[in-house]
């Protein structure tokens, strides 16, 4: 069995919106409460808390008069809060992320997760049944397949609500073999250069929206300064909040455009090629280059590779990653002669040994393909 997520926009009514915000706040309280206790326990006893201890303490919290309001929201969502804390510490001990931090109500994105028990998460026509919320209208863009396991309700800075439903589905049927392989050189001028000569244009979603974003961001800054000058609380400044949501909607639109582009491109490549060879790029290191950081962040190489990997796993394709230090741009794909590093301004590759002339990016992608097929043969 495989896991697949479906994301939909939901349209809760006024009472449902209030309950969603309450659940976000209660889950944040539980997470921060146990994080504080974990820190204290570690300082005093040299060890943190475990799942059993936190479960018993949460039950006691619900029975106390000063925290009895925790019973007003979904109990499974509260349990998921300390499960998230356990997961955060496990990732920290495995050196996958930093030490867990306290959650803030000022975070522009708020979410909570609940599980499906006794069919309390279900699709009823054009509505979705969710724990405590009841039937909620949603934009049914596609049918949900498989058994629903859990749902995550998210509130974005743009003022919109979304639900992500995770389902357990049977393994996908492998795609028919095409007996074709491709090497891909990821870039900035062109998003991807394929070894067969095809170029995928870099859409530059952020740059297209940059001028409009700057204009709206300046308006937001002026309203912030005005509220600060008058000593007013930003939550009570309706003009500021309205402009904040407008800026968030623009950023959200850019993110959706980018995600749609990456999904379509990755799916097309998975369908057409049995083997896809890529470079293992050090994206985090590249982002330290302030001259290229904005352009690198806009192309989202890491997200693209992640999508390729999980789709390849679903549909029985192979992804081969080449070492990041492999000199793909210095080798001749025809004879293998290494000419050394050339200036970026030189866009045409000419081999000094065999005289082969080719676009430097296409030559690099062909070298990536050759190296990827070589590594694939060495795999057991």
User: Catalytic residue numbers?
Assistant: 185, 279, 361
What value, to the nearest 5°, has the Cα angle with vertex 152 and ends 148 and 157? 150
Q: In degrees to the nearest 10, what's the CA dihedral of 313, 314, 316, 319?
A: -30
What value, to the nearest 5°, has the Cα angle with vertex 208 and ends 202 and 214? 140
Q: Are 121 and 74 in contact (CB under 8 A)?
A: no
**30: phi then psi, degrees, rounded to nearest 5:** -65, -45
């Amino acid at each position: 069995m495989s896991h697949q997520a479906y994301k939909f926009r939901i349209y809760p009514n006024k009472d449902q919106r209030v309950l969603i915000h309450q659940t976000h706040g209660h889950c944040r309280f539980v997470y921060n409460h146990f994080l504080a206790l974990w820190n204290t326990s570690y300082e005093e006893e040299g060890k943190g808390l475990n799942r059993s201890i936190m479960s018993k303490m949460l039950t006691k919290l619900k029975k106390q008069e000063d925290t009895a309001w925790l019973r007003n929201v979904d109990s499974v969502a509260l349990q998921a809060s300390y499960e998230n804390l356990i997961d955060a510490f496990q990732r920290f001990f495995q050196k996958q992320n930093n030490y867990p931090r306290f959650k803030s109500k000022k975070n522009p994105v708020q979410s909570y997760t609940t599980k499906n028990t006794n069919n309390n998460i279900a699709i009823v026509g054009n509505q979705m049944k969710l724990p405590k919320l009841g039937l909620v209208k949603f934009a049914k863009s596609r049918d949900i397949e498989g058994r629903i396991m859990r749902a995550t309700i998210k509130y974005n800075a743009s003022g919109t609500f979304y639900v992500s439903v995770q389902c357990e589905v049977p393994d996908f049927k492998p795609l028919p073999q095409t007996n074709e392989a491709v090497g891909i050189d990821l870039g900035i001028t062109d998003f991807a250069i394929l070894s067969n000569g095809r170029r995928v244009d870099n859409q530059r979603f952020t740059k297209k929206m940059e001028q409009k974003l700057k204009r709206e961001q300046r308006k937001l800054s002026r309203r912030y300064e005005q509220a600060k000058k008058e000593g007013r609380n930003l939550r009570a400044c309706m003009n500021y909040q309205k402009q904040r949501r407008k800026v968030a909607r623009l950023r959200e639109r850019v993110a959706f455009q980018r995600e749609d582009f990456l999904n379509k491109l990755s799916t097309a490549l998975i369908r057409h090629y049995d083997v896809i060879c890529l470079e293992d790029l050090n994206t985090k290191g590249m982002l330290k280059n302030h001259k290229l950081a904005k352009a690198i962040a806009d192309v989202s190489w890491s997200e693209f590779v992640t999508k390729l990997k999980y789709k390849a796993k679903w549909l029985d394709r192979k992804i081969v990653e080449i070492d990041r230090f492999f000199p793909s741009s210095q080798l001749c794909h025809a004879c293998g002669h290494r000419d050394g590093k050339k200036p970026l301004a030189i866009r045409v590759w000419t081999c000094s040994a065999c005289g082969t002339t080719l676009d430097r990016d296409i030559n690099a992608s062909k070298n990536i393909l050759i190296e990827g097929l070589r590594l694939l043969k060495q795999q057991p």
